[in-house]
Amino acid sequence: MENTMSRRWTLLVRKCVVLFPVFVYITLLGYQRLRLPWCEELRENYPMKIDFTRMREGKTHNEVKPLNTQSFKYIHNPIKTCANDRIEILSVVKSIPGNVKLRNAIRQTWGRATSTGRNRLLFSLGKVKDKNVQEQIDAEVETFHDILQGDFEDSYLNLTQKTIHGFHWISKYCAEASFVFFVDDDVIVNFKNLISTLHKTSHMERENLFTGYVVTNPGPTRWGSKFTIFRDYYPFPCFPYYVSGPAVLTTGKVVKMFDAAIPYVRNFMFEDVYLGLVAMKLGLTLSPTYNYLFDHDGSRLYKLPCMISSHQGGGITADTYTNYYNDFAMQHC
């Protein structure tokens, strides 16, 4: 009797082991089928519903009231950055105002390459309440002339606004830049590899270049996370492909397209997802072709010789940044 029961339990367990993956597959397949129509309709249904093809042609929608109204005011505006020069690579570092030492570390490492020839470096900041920090920023401006400081509160929740300000500034003052490279101040950059990669890109690739580490199966988290997104804020079960925020490589031409479209695409709380929504509206195709060149989570530092950037995460010190860079910069394709 006991042997019979034992055999039955063994048989039942084996069936469960075999059938469970099938159940999971069918469940996921069903979810994807339910999800797919919404994803296909996302481009059409995410506000606003207008012809964004005109944006790519450099036309505006004067007859349509924008969703987003921005007042672009600057505490420090380095308008001479791109004056009288045809800029090859404009590197824009999104920096936390208090990270003075980290900005200096960048200037003394890969930032050196941006101070010669037709390359330029800018640090993008918002305003800060601490007067001592603001005085340090003012001193940086006097010494380096590389601070773009917008008149908005610099905070995590304002990253989308910070990004929009940067895009608008470039569109107005530096749209002729061949390439624009946005990075966070905790991202280590191998500038030689960046130049090498750009030299290998075709004219067709450059035409609508908007790349970095492309997230290809994204969707909102609905519970249990600081990144929770409720359905009343964003009802769609998916995001479009988007470039992970720490490093974005594009062109001055594409930045200008984004700047024209942004007033007509409803703001979103995460700046990288928001840029993905704008790219989707503009009909740009984001591909993970270059994912191997952008380390978005710090897990692949030193592992690939052609790596352009490595995101180390918040809290990295200036000394650690410099030490990592010294080894990272030795890698070449």
How does pLDDT run across 185-195, given as a tens digit for each residue? 999 999 999 99
Q: What is the pLDDT of residue 20?
A: 44
Residue 270 domain flag = yes
> In the predicted model, what is the mean pLDDT of residues 180-187?
98
pTM: 0.85
Check the CA dihedral 243-246-249-255 and report its sign: positive
Closest CA relative to residue 244, chosen from 208, 271, 277, 220? 271
- Helix 2-45 vs helix 271-282: crossing angle, to nearest 10: 60
Decide if pLDDT at 132 tops 90. Answer: yes
Question: Residue 149: which residues within 8 A CB-CB, separation 6 or more?
Answer: 74, 75, 76, 124, 125, 126, 127, 137, 141
Please, are residues 67 and 47 in contact by the beta-carbon 8 Å criterion?
yes
Residue 15 domain flag = no
Instruction: Calculate what percentage of the chain has a pLDDT beyond 90.
Output: 63
33: amino acid identity, one letter:
R
Report DSSP letters for 2-35, one per residue.
HHHHHHHHHHHHHHHHHHHHHHHHHHHHHHHHHH
CA distance 260 to 248: 19
309 is written with which tokens? Answer: 């950037």
DSSP classification of residue 296: S
- What length is written for the chain? 333
176 is written with which tokens? Answer: 């002729």
Residue 333 domain flag = no
Residue 61 domain flag = yes
> In the predicted model, what is the mean pLDDT of residues 286-311?
88
Number of domains in the chain: 1
Looking only at Cα atoms, what is the longest distance across the chain?
Answer: 93
Which residues, in sequence order, are bridge partners of residue 189? 309
Residue 12 domain flag = no
Residue 274 domain flag = yes
Residue 4 domain flag = no
CA distance 253 to 5: 72
Full 3-state SS string of 124-184: EEEECCCHHHHHHHHHHHHHHCCEEEEEEECCHHHHHHHHHHHHHHHHHHCCCCCEEEEEE
Question: Residue 310: which residues within 8 A CB-CB, separation 6 or more?
Answer: 187, 188, 295, 298, 300, 301, 324, 328
More confident residue, 129 or 302: 129
Sole residue written with tokens 């490492």? 109
CA distance 299 to 99: 23
CA distance 45 to 249: 27
Confidence of residue 58 (pLDDT cuts 50, 70, 90): low
Closest CA relative to residue 281, chosen from 46, 40, 39? 46
Confidence of residue 21 (pLDDT cuts 50, 70, 90): very low
Which residues, in sequence order, are bridge partners of residue 183? 93, 247
- Scored b (16 or more CB within 10 A) or e, 235-244 reads ebbbbbbbbb
Decide if pLDDT at 155 tops 90. Answer: yes
Q: What is the pLDDT of residue 8?
A: 53
Q: What is the pLDDT of residue 23?
A: 38
Least confident interval from 32-36, 289-293, 299-303: 32-36
Domain membership of residue 208 as a residue range: 53-328
CA distance 194 to 308: 5
239 is written with which tokens? Answer: 């995001």
How does pLDDT run across 216-272, given as a tens digit for each residue? 988 898 888 888 999 999 999 899 999 999 999 999 999 999 999 999 999 999 999
Decide if pLDDT at 134 tops 80. Answer: yes
Residue 45 domain flag = no
248: enclosing H helix or E strand = strand 242-250
Q: What is the pLDDT of residue 174?
A: 95
73 is written with which tokens? Answer: 């005011």
Least confident interval from 47-51, 92-96, 110-114, 267-271: 47-51
Classify residue 311 as exposed, middle or buried by CB count within 10 Å of its CB (0-12, 13-18, 19+): buried
Average pLDDT across the chain, whole number: 86
Please, are residues 31 and 217 in contact by the beta-carbon 8 Å criterion?
no
* CATH number of the domain bearing residue 58: 3.90.550.50
Decide if pLDDT at 82 tops 60. Answer: yes
Q: What is the pLDDT of residue 61?
A: 64
Per mean pLDDT, which of 47-51, 59-63, 260-264 is the most reliable?
260-264
